[in-house]
Structure 1
Amino acid sequence: MDREVGMGALVWLLIPLVAAVGAGLWGSWANRTRKVRGDGPELDGYARFREAMEKSTSGT
């Protein structure tokens, strides 16, 4: 009886461990396949936004 309780507890402890290892592997795979991108597109968009705002305020 004691051995069954011990095995049950071990199984319940292994479930989160396996889930954590799986999440770590998935996270490293998902981050690896992401293309590395600099701040260029964001800065270009911000520059266009600033130009548009300057045009709208300079006309009034």
Structure 2
Amino acid sequence: MGALLWLLIPVLAGLVAALWSSWAMRNRRTGDVAELAGYARFRAAMEKQHAAAVAPTVPERVSDPV
């Protein structure tokens, strides 16, 4: 009877490993859509910030009394 109990340990470990591997290899449905949308928002924000920093400001002309 003791030998059967010792045999039960690796069998249970194998079952747990099989369950874990099937869970780890499951298909996740989220995909890259959320990550790509976030990256697109980041790029748009950086372009907007860069465009505001690069845009030249036109100084007002001060007329000199001659």
TM over 0.5: yes
TM-score by length of 2: 0.53
Aligned to 1:35: 30
Instruction: Using the aligned pairs only, state the percent identity.
Output: 10
Per-residue CA deviations over 1:5-55 (Å, capped at 9, x if unaligned) read 2111111111211111001112223xx142332553132122133145434
Provide the C-alpha distance between the structure 2 equivalents of 1:53 and 1:6, rounded to a whole number of angstroms: 71
Runs of 4+ in 1 over 4 A off after TM superposition: none
Aligned residue pairs, count: 52
The one of 28, 45, 49 aligned to 2:45: 49
Give the gaps of 5 or more residues in structure 1: none
Aligned to 1:15: 12
CA RMSD of aligned residues (A): 2.6
Task: Identify, as 1 or 2, the structure richer in helix.
Answer: 1
Larger Rg: 2
